Homo-oligomer: A and B are copies of this chain.
């Protein structure tokens, strides 16, 4: 514990994800004090369905808040020292709730594919380019992910639920409602519904009118950092948060992650490597981004968690997922070794990958195990390992995985730069930011500096905590809050001779997607 005047100021960042929630308490310098995590099940009760059970999720949220507070007590922190609470959440997933705030069914998540017909309807009746200009979201019937069409699906297929619905709430607004009684969503998360006008910062009248959805059925929209209300008595009982604690509007998890990584302006690219690998860049000039070129490549543009700024967002659907696939399917020796030595199996795999030379002896791995993301948007393309000879070993395959992921990162940077973005450095967060070897490879392949914040694992919760501190005016503004709470800890610079080799590798790599995509 620091002995400063702020030592008794703490902020709780709640991160509600697809498969679990985590509550983390940070001090005013952004240092993690305590955290608690609780997993829940993502249900696939039938093909195309992907749902969360709201009772289970809310129970997990209560539990992790309570536990994180309890753990912080060991450091002498009282609930009254927690100055504010703020939430970062998964996008798209939502709940219809009745007048008492009771969920009327389970929560459809991003990959729930029921709303194909509704998405096709929009594709046909409302030019995707027009929707993109308003909402920043690329519409594609091959990806029926957005809240808007899912609400329409409920109206068409679950009439009685629709009739009873008071509001459709995403998980941020639901949490805010449960804590304060006021259902508020922030701009960044609202952007992910495909109903939000990112230029006007309000629900899009045009979209809602076309959809026939009354805006009264949606939550209020406020900028991130807006104080939603105070923790209610009933919420104190449920969570252990003190009655009266301010609750601040948070944001979409990736935007919160970018903020936690210290990104407040154009110039840095967030690179969050978990199961999925996400790329995000902040910019002020909206004109840059919702262009047809960017839409066709699959980039989404959100309002950022800093008012007046935007967040352009790309992704690779299988980032760390490919490494996990390798671990589970091809690395029985390494799993055994990890069990015996107590080492992390990924450390062992990556150390073996490092035994293969740059370029993995001309082996290429295309990580499209669930389709390709930005900038080569395709749901149907599949993964491949290309260039195999009898002299290749498992180490070369492991290295080719990392190199493939790094080439995808560079490809995104190239396209963003060609579309007017300026990217000076990469801020790496998430599980992939644990490996120095991989981070150095990211620098070598992209030619960019790679910076890793001190908080590289709970970065989205830190982003929420930053918004909490800013929200209650603990810091003068968000830039100051970021400066005080987020610090770069590691720096990786491209090595020219390795970069030169990777320029060749990348030049060949980018020829492969066009070659194989039509096969699928």
Q: Are B329's CB and A386's CB within 8 A?
A: no
Total identical chains: 2
Assess whether A519 is interfacial by the CB under 8 Å rule.
Answer: yes
Interface residues as binary, A389-411 with B (CB distance below 8 Å gives 1, 0 otherwise) = 11011100000000000000000
Given A332-B332, A519-B512, does the pair A318, B382 have CB atoms closer than 8 Å?
A: no
Give per-residue flags for A365-400: 1 if the beta carbon is below 8 A from chain B beta carbons, else 0. 000111000000000001111111110111000000
Q: How many residues of A contact B (CB 8 A)?
A: 31
Decide yes or no whether A325 CB sits under 8 A from chain B. Answer: yes
Identify A392's interface contact among B329, B333, B387, CB under 8 A: B329
* Contact, CB under 8 Å: B394 / A330: yes
| In-complex Cβ contact of A385 among B388, B389, B394 (8 A) | B388
Q: With the chains together, A321 CA to B318 CA distance in Å?
A: 31
A515 within 8 A of B: yes
B residues near A520, Cβ cutoff 8 Å:
387
Q: Does A99 contact B (CB under 8 A)?
A: no
Q: Determine whether the beta carbon of A386 is less than 8 Å from that of B393.
A: no
Which residues does chain B contribute within 8 Å of A393, judged by CB atoms? 329
- Asked if A340 is at the interface of the complex by the 8 Å CB criterion, the answer is no
CA distance A386 to B508 in the complex (A): 17
Tell yes or no: A45 within 8 A of B by CB.
no
User: Is A325 within 8 A of B382, CB to CB?
Assistant: no
Q: Which of B321, B332, B387, B394 contacts A329 (CB 8 A)?
A: B394
In the complex, what residues of B have CB within 8 A of residue A383's CB? 387-389
Distance in Å: Cβ of A418 to nearest Cβ of chain B: 24
Which residues of B lie under 8 Å from residue A394 when comparing CB positions?
329-330
Question: Which A residues fall within an 8 A CB radius of B?
Answer: 318, 321-322, 325, 329-330, 332-333, 362, 368-370, 382-390, 392-394, 508, 511-512, 515-516, 519-520
Known: A329-B393, A516-B516. 12 other contacts (CB 8 A): A318-B390, A321-B390, A329-B394, A369-B390, A370-B390, A382-B387, A382-B388, A383-B387, A384-B385, A386-B519, A508-B519, A511-B519
11 A-B pairs within 8 Å (CB atoms) are namely A318-B390, A321-B390, A370-B389, A382-B387, A386-B386, A386-B519, A508-B519, A511-B519, A512-B519, A515-B519, A516-B516
